[in-house]
Amino acid sequence: MTTDALHTDELKKVFSQKDAFNVQDIGSFYQSLEPADVPQSTVNWRIYKLVERGIIQRVGRGKYQLGVSSFFEPGITGKMIQVNRYMKKQFPYIKYIVWHIGDINTFSQHLFNKDITFVEVERDVVKSVTDQLRDKFKYVQDSRAASSLYPNESVIMVRPLVSGAPVQTIQTVPTTTLEKILVDIYSDKVFDFFQGNELSLIFKNAFSSYTIHQERLLRYASRKEKREVIREFIQTIK
């Protein structure tokens, strides 16, 4: 299929002002340019080629934006690798993720001088995991504690992992996604130091730098009863 058959120039003009568009929108676009009916199979194939060539990107189930997909991968620190090995050995049957607060600094204006490795586990084992990690590592804290126990130290913080949270695996380490980070820093008290203009800037930089699956983000926000407020907040930062 040639580029002309995809009508890429016209497509870019039509959809340049839209935050997102769906399969039906793309089908209607092609139907408006061609005299004969365009079968859905042809529309689907053209969408596949548009994505393959970096003309559009998927941002959700059946939703697209103009541009090339760029997905955020959290950094994997040496401590994360240590923690992951320990978790696999001590808790082989529970679901967990490990990530570092430094991933948020990627998007913030002010670098936050905190060294926190988060271990998120099923809610009913937070205490037992915290106790077990304290046998191996020096500074381990339950995120539900009233205040920081080790304010100036390199800390492992154990948090409840919400069911249905969007996660991924990088270098064999189960870890977070950008969608999860954004919802968490908006919602959770442990991230209260990200507020106001700083929070808006983090969201703006995330959306401008990487492909965000908004459907996945909002589905996770629903699990935390924050769907509508986060959806409205996203509209203010675009």
Which residues are CB-contacts of 68 (< 8 A; sequence separation ≥ 6)? 54, 57
Token pair 């005299």 in the structure block, residue: 35
**Tokens read off for 36:** 């004969």
Based on the fold, state whether residues 166 and 198 are members of the same structural domain.
yes
Long-range contacts of 140-147 (CB under 8 A, 24+ apart): 143/190
Q: Is pTM beyond 0.85 here?
A: no
Based on the fold, state whether residues 149 and 194 are members of the same structural domain.
yes
Which of 16, 44, 66 marks a domain boundary? 66
Based on the fold, state whether residues 59 and 164 are members of the same structural domain.
no
pLDDT of res. 128: 95
CB 64 within 8 A of CB 57: yes
Could you tell me the residue range of the domain that residue 227 belongs to?
78-237
Based on the fold, state whether residues 30 and 105 are members of the same structural domain.
no
Which residues are CB-contacts of 175 (< 8 A; sequence separation ≥ 6)? 74, 76, 80, 97, 98, 99, 167, 168, 169
* CA separation for the pair 36, 199 (Å, rounded): 49
**Tokens read off for 186:** 């908006």
Based on the fold, state whether residues 62 and 82 are members of the same structural domain.
no
Based on the fold, state whether residues 95 and 211 are members of the same structural domain.
yes
Ranges in the chain, pLDDT < 50: none
Based on the fold, state whether residues 38 and 102 are members of the same structural domain.
no
Based on the fold, state whether residues 148 and 198 are members of the same structural domain.
yes
The amino acid at 187: S
